[in-house]
Amino acid sequence: QRQRFLDGFAEVMMSFHRLSDVDIDELAERWRQLSSGADRAVLGHELTLFLMRNPEARETVAAQRLDIIRSLGEFISKNVARIGGTLTIEAEMLARVILAANDGITLDSHLDGEDLYRPYLQLVMSSVRT
Amino acid sequence: QRQRFLDGFAEVMMSFHRLSDVDIDELAERWRQLSSGADRAVLGHELTLFLMRNPEARETVAAQRLDIIRSLGEFISKNVARIGGTLTIEAEMLARVILAANDGITLDSHLDGEDLYRPYLQLVMSSVRT
């Protein structure tokens, strides 16, 4: 499910060819579509709480978590290089921050009826410099 | 509890007098101390899930949530002005993004044993310009 989310995002990213092409409104709109039900974000929060309560389960999912982090990190590296930008935060670390923050951004956007996708993506994009 | 967290943070912020004084390592270290048990972040996630499951409960906490957002927004405005910076994202919106993301940053830092506070704060601070 997270892969589908990333693929949907990737599609928009691929339409940008230079840093100046990057349209945060378009990225935010895609996020809004992809997370309309918020189910994925609820599952993410539940999994986090489950792992907090059950330390012995962490190892079982550690490899999978690392895979997701690495694949998002690579996606970020490649795309930032493709549009001619450089990162102010190391790609894999940025991937970790994004994965840690995303679900909360989605859920609070739902709960408060306030679109946090755009300002959040603006923050994330501020880690890319020309 | 969230107030104590903000107060602890405020103390460090008050020690900065210019934007160039802002020491992200020091902010990250304070955060690490304030969230060492991760209990507050667990409660935050639980409350979010509860509100997702019980829409009728949202109104009960709406006023309190708005108070927290406003008080953090004011804190950000005042401190950014004090150190001579300007925000690229409106203060109250930035407060919402921070409140939505914080718990996930704390919990994933615990789960993966990887310090996300520093890169996350670096992202947040990138919304402040001279």
pLDDT digits (tens, 9 = 90+) for B51-75: 999 999 999 999 999 999 999 999 9
Mean pLDDT score, A5-24: 85
Q: Do B124 and A126 touch (CB under 8 A)?
A: no
pLDDT of residue A37 exceeding 70, the answer is: yes
SS3 for A101-121 is: HHHHHHHHHHHHCCCCHHHHH
* Residue A7 to chain B, least CA–CA distance (Å): 22
Closest chain B residue to A69, measured at CA: B112
Task: Answer yes or no: are the C-beta atoms of B105 and A97 closer than 8 Å.
Answer: yes
User: Backbone phi, then psi, for A56, in 5-degree steps?
Assistant: -70, -15
Alpha-carbon distance B61 to A88, whole Å? 38
Say what percent of chain A tops pLDDT 90: 67
Cβ contact, residue pair B96, A104, below 8 Å: no
Band of pLDDT at residue A124, cut at 50, 70 and 90: very high
Output the pTM of the full model: 0.92
Chain A environment of B24 (Cβ under 8 Å): none
- This complex has an ipTM of 0.91
Where does residue A119 rank: exposed (0-12), middle (13-18), buried (19+ CB within 10 A)?
buried
Residues B105/B117, Cβ–Cβ less than 8 Å: yes
Q: Which residue has the higher pLDDT, B7 or A101?
A: A101
Instruction: Quick: pLDDT tens for A47-87.
Output: 999 999 999 999 999 999 999 999 999 999 999 999 999 99
| Residue in A closest to B119 by C-alpha | A89
Q: Are strands A128-129 and A86-87 parallel, antiparallel or unpaired?
A: antiparallel
Nearest-CA distance A52 → chain B (Å): 7
- A30-44 in b/e form (b: 16+ CB < 10 A) is bbeebbeebebbbeb
- Rounded CA-CA distance B128/B130 in Å is 7
Mean pLDDT of A90-99: 96
Number of neighbouring beta carbons within 10 Å of residue A21 = 11
Distance CA B58, CA B50 (A): 9
Question: What's the pLDDT score for residue A1?
Answer: 63
pLDDT of residue A77: 94
Query: Between chains, do A104 and B101 touch, taking CB under 8 Å as contact?
Result: yes
Class of domain B1-129: mainly alpha
The ranges assigned to domains in chain A are: 1-129
Low-confidence ranges of chain B (pLDDT < 50): none
Say yes or no for a CB contact (<8 Å) between B126 and A122.
Answer: no
Q: Which residues of A touch B96 (CB under 8 A)?
A: 108, 112, 114, 116, 119
B128-129 vs A128-129, strand pairing mode: unpaired
Rg for chain B, CA atoms, rounded = 15
